[in-house]
Structure 1
Amino acid sequence: MERIASKTIAFNGKFFGAGPTGVHKVAEELIAATDALIAGQAANGMDYAVVARDGVEVPPYRHIPCVRERPWARRMHKIAWEQFYLPLASRKGFILNLCNLGPLLHRNSATLIHDAQVYSAPESYSLSFRLWYKFLFFFIGKRHKIIFTVSEYSKRELVHYGVARADKIVVVHNGCDHVLQIRPDDRQIAVLDLDRRRYVVALANTQKHKNIGVLLKAFAGEPLRDVPLVLFGGATRADFESLGHAVPPNVRFTGRIADAELVGLLANAGALAFPSLTEGFGLPPLEAMALGCPVVAAPFGALPEVCGNAALYTDPLSPDAWRLNILSVLNDEAVRQSLISAGHRQAGGFTWKRAARDLFETVKAVNG
């Protein structure tokens, strides 16, 4: 490949080809939305490119070319590739890292750090993971020109933990309108034998701060005995039980499912339950709102900032409170319709076009 030219904004494409995560989804949507903005707006002679590993699939963007690694870099570990090859290949350009980490050697960079949870929720991560992220955050926050983050809450946390100064951090909220472009696939409703509007969806995630244990306790109680709790994602019943959770029989696990299947589940659910104790943003509640699914959430982290008055907030430590509020959403049509209407209004303010424009303008100002 040719090296990145001066004035070129190089997206760090290390995440392409990796397993699906929320962070990777945000990166994909931001690049796609930036691609849609570029036509006629590449002021000051700036160009964009994605730098990616050889052999990984990268979407065919209209205005953002993909440049591949040179043959001698193909055997490099992904960390070495990001820390050494990427800054070498992009040394005349500006590197934009969208997945928390980036090369320390390249000061002419911006990095999107989604949250400070390695500090605020250390029990959710391994020691090696925490140490590596804290090491990189320390230097990224000092060396890179811009630190982006996804909420005012995350900005306060990053300042609190000394990652970067407040005047260096720019908030760019995520969008959620991508779910409206996905045709729902209802197969999971049949596979799991669900009745529309009579089941609740939540994350299958064992990280402590996700707090799914409170839902397991809530659904073990008599009032919700006949209401399925559908957990989507990679964690299994055995994973929860190995951590000491009692998983009641009305909990059903989807495993990893396609985006279209998740959209189908959310669009037909009685509610999304989101009891997280901390979130840098909290994309699933907004996705649910956009699809007309009522949201019951904990009032912690960035969730009040993101969900506004469109969620039914619930004490994250009280199974009884979750049981009561979930039943209210399922059984009281006035409550349900109020949450759906408020949810549509709230989700409508979070678009990827707006996010990409905020990102685009900030980077353009630094490189003008």
Structure 2
Amino acid sequence: MTFRRLAINGKFLIAGPTGVHRVAEQLIRQLEGRVSEFAGLFEKSPMLIAPPNLHRRPLDAFEVERAGAFRGQLWEQLDLPRLARPDLLLNLCNLGPMASKAAITMIHDAQVFATPGSYSWAFAKWYRNVLPVLGSRHARILTVSEFSANELARFGVARRDHISVVPNGVDHLLAYDSRPEIVNRLALVPRKFVVGLANVQAHKNVGLLLKAFTASELADLKLVLVGAARREEFEALGNSVPPNVVFAGRISDGELRALLESALCVGFPSTTEGFGLPPLEGMILGCPAILAPCGALTEVAGEGALFAAPDDPRQWIPAIRRLVDDPSHWAGYSRAGRERAAFFTWKRAGGKLADIIREVAMVLLSKGH
């Protein structure tokens, strides 16, 4: 007995790119090279199943089936379970159909439970209601760190022994050509700026960086915030934005690589993270990272990064200043960061995912699914 195929939930393909979507794309590309490992478990090759309003094929891995009568969440909950029967369904972007049982679903973190204020009321309520259903019905839950696995268990999403960890890779950034013109466009001086996130979610804690950069000790440096949030959004939340803060907006991967290659460090004061990819992206390029010792950040960064308290900007000021004033200190963490980040490859992640798919498929088939 075999499954018809491995069906991959392609709802994410109709949306703009997010960090979660990028993880899905990287893992799907890894699976493409591992199809032979599923011999005897599936009758047909893996297939991406997407809503009918997908008008182009954004991935070069696997065929895409466009089908169904609905869009968005309704498509995922009503159309997808029917379209994926009798397949083994793989969901990589936090959600999946509640009606399915032969499914493997990746839930990246438990933030909607731990920090619900970071999301809209409707978004948090939907996730808080759906995730425990998926955790109890689906054959396996995946997440990206031991911390996230323990949090999902703590909040009752799934039993801990029902959750498998597949850490993210970070080596995708090495595939993009550096676009150093962004450094000149933003009037930046190499090693004289810190890169952070332009994100107003409460748990990202970017206000701490803004407070640190009001200090006279950092007046000769700039804080470059990358992402969609604008100055006005930070100010509307009561933050004072000092004049040495630069809002870079949304940038390309090549521009991000160039910024990180030229930056003094990455500043990442999040009070919780399911994984923490942005500092690792800096570290793999030799850019040191200063992090808050929260969530999965200590697990992921290990001894390859510097840490400072999430509630005390006074700790961040000397940590940043020493990277400027002590070249050997900067070089040591540049080297340590590269070594630590090199462990997190998409090949390793793809291998873990393939092993789990094979294990789950064999268990379900042995039970006569």
TM-score range, shorter chain: over 0.9
Number of corresponding residues: 358
Normalising by structure 1, report the TM-score: 0.95
Please give the alpha-carbon distance, in whole angstroms, between the structure 2 residues aligned to 1:213 and 1:188.
24
* Deviation string, structure 1 residues 213-252 (Cα, Å, up to 9, x no partner): 0100000110111211000001000010111100001000
How much does 1:127 deviate? Answer: 1.4
Partner in structure 1 of residue 18 of structure 2: 21
Please give the alpha-carbon distance, in whole angstroms, between the structure 2 residues aligned to 1:245 and 1:222.
18
How much does 1:45 deviate? Answer: 4.4
Would you say 1:43 and 2:42 are equivalent positions? no
Would you say 1:261 and 2:258 are equivalent positions? no
Query: Which amino acid is 1:69 matched to?
Result: A
Partner in structure 1 of residue 332 of structure 2: 338
Partner in structure 2 of residue 165 of structure 1: 159
Correspondent of 1:11 among 1, 4, 8: 8
Correspondent of 2:295 among 296, 301, 324: 301
Mapping 1:1-368, distance limit 5 Å: 6-38=3-35, 40-46=36-42, 47-54=45-52, 55-62=54-61, 64-70=62-68, 73=69, 76-368=70-362
Contact 1:267–1:292 at 8 Å: present in 2 too? Answer: yes
Contact 1:34–1:353 at 8 Å: present in 2 too? Answer: no
Query: Which amino acid is 1:316 matched to?
Result: P
Give the SS at the match of 1:299: coil
Please give the alpha-carbon distance, in whole angstroms, between the structure 2 residues aligned to 1:187 and 1:36.
35
How much does 1:187 deviate? Answer: 2.2
Please give the alpha-carbon distance, in whole angstroms, between the structure 2 residues aligned to 1:6 and 1:228.
55
Identity of aligned residues (%): 46
Moved more, 232-241 or 24-33: 24-33
Give the SS at the match of 1:230: strand
Contact 1:6–1:93 at 8 Å: present in 2 too? Answer: yes
How much does 1:53 deviate? Answer: 2.6
Please give the alpha-carbon distance, in whole angstroms, between the structure 2 residues aligned to 1:7 and 1:345.
42
Identify unmatched segments of 5+ residues in structure 2: 363-369
Query: Which amino acid is 2:19 matched to?
Result: G
How much does 1:130 deviate? Answer: 1.1
Query: Which amino acid is 2:250 matched to?
Result: R
Normalising by structure 2, report the TM-score: 0.94
* Deviation string, structure 1 residues 42-86 (Cα, Å, up to 9, x no partner): 321423111113334334435x2111115xx2xx23011100111
Query: Which amino acid is 1:291 matched to?
Result: L
Query: Which amino acid is 1:12 matched to?
Result: N
Please give the alpha-carbon distance, in whole angstroms, between the structure 2 residues aligned to 1:45 and 1:155.
27
Query: Which amino acid is 1:7 matched to?
Result: R
Give the SS at the match of 1:44: coil
Query: Which amino acid is 1:66 matched to?
Result: V
Contact 2:179–2:257 at 8 Å: present in 1 too? Answer: yes
Please give the alpha-carbon distance, in whole angstroms, between the structure 2 residues aligned to 1:36 and 1:268.
34
* Deviation string, structure 1 residues 109-157 (Cα, Å, up to 9, x no partner): 0110000011111111121111100111110010000000000000110
Over aligned residues, Cα RMSD in angstroms? 1.3
Please give the alpha-carbon distance, in whole angstroms, between the structure 1 residues aligned to 2:59 and 2:203.
37
Please give the alpha-carbon distance, in whole angstroms, between the structure 2 residues aligned to 1:58 and 1:209.
34
Identify unmatched segments of 5+ residues in structure 1: none
Structure 1 segments of 4+ aligned residues over 4 angstroms from their partners: none
Please give the alpha-carbon distance, in whole angstroms, between the structure 2 residues aligned to 1:304 and 1:56.
41
Please give the alpha-carbon distance, in whole angstroms, between the structure 1 residues aligned to 2:246 and 2:27.
33
Please give the alpha-carbon distance, in whole angstroms, between the structure 1 residues aligned to 2:113 and 2:120.
12
Give the SS at the match of 1:104: coil
Query: Which amino acid is 2:154 matched to?
Result: H
Contact 1:150–1:281 at 8 Å: present in 2 too? Answer: yes
